[in-house]
Amino acid sequence: MKDLCLVINTYSKYSDLWPMFFDSLEEYLPSLKRYVFVDEGEPDENSTTVHYDSANLFRTQFLSCIKEVSEEYCIFISEDYIMYDAPKMDLIEKYKNILDEDKKLSFIRFAKGIEFYEPEYKNHDDLYVLNNLFPYFYSQTAAIWRTRDLERIFLNSDELHIANEDYENSFEWRASAVCGILDIQGLFCYNGEAKRGIYHYDSAVFPYVATALVKGKWNLSEYKKELEPLLKKYNIDVNNRGTY
């Protein structure tokens, strides 16, 4: 798809996930160009690797890499977003075309999250408006982004890691306030998918494990059906990380 790529953020201490993750991309998204942001190593021979300095925090790590991405749109994901079915590329193309047409929009998220009230977007019965003044407006949830708008959020954010024990001092939390200041606008898609866990729903458009790791442990409480066959296939001992 023209002017669309995958942007993958990872870290070498998660290299045990790389085989299953990149194999899932080869199976379900083989034609989409991939950029991998990583501190060291070459996670995937079919991706363009961009290295960051692990001495920096997440915000600066990302900014040092995203400038290498020339595509107008990107799907921003992490290495524990394991795909388990084929994405609906016709809908992803439809969403990209909506971003083309409505320049005020910066992203379309592929899954429903916390249940605030959202109106439908124009005449689309699968798209809903996110309020950029609500908490959790910015999220690491898989989404199609206008690349330079995603970069702009990082440029205007504080120097933080993606998550902290004190969540309100993490990048993901604080970036929502930045989006409000910048008037970043976005949508999410919802097609009646089932709720998964406490905070989010499945995605029929982009079927992925969100996320395979919670606090560094295998997320078998939410994704047992999807992960157990993969753990067996890749000879991964769950005791090395433990289970959540």
Q: What is the pLDDT of residues 14-23, one digit of tens each?
A: 999 999 999 9
Token look-up 């504080």 returns 158
Contact yes or no for 203/111 (Cβ under 8 A): yes
Average pLDDT score over residue span 80-96: 98
For residue 66, give the amino acid letter: I
Alpha helices in the chain (DSSP H): 18-28, 58-66, 89-101, 147-155, 171-182, 220-233
Spatial CB neighbours of 233, under 8 Å, sequence gap ≥ 6: 20
Q: What is the pLDDT of residues 130-150, one digit of tens each?
A: 999 988 899 999 999 999 999
Token look-up 């160009």 returns 33
For residue 160, give the amino acid letter: L
Contact yes or no for 196/210 (Cβ under 8 A): yes
Spatial CB neighbours of 16, under 8 Å, sequence gap ≥ 6: 236, 240, 241
Cα four-point dihedral sign 154, 14, 243, 223 = positive
46 pLDDT exceeds 80?
yes
Residue 227 sits at φ, ψ, to 5 deg, of -90, -35
Could you give the 3-state DSSP secondary structure of residue 91?
A: helix
pTM above 0.75, yes or no: yes
210 pLDDT exceeds 70?
yes
Domain ranges across the chain: 4-236
Average pLDDT score over residue span 22-37: 97
For residue 108, give the amino acid letter: I
d(CA 106, CA 45): 30
Contact yes or no for 200/223 (Cβ under 8 A): no
CATH 3.30.1360 fits 4-236, yes or no: no
205 pLDDT exceeds 80?
yes
Contact yes or no for 10/50 (Cβ under 8 A): no
Spatial CB neighbours of 1, under 8 Å, sequence gap ≥ 6: 31, 32, 89, 92, 93, 96
Q: What six digits make up the tokens of 185?
A: 């606008």
Contact yes or no for 226/84 (Cβ under 8 A): yes
Alpha carbon 7 to its chain centroid, in Å, reads 9
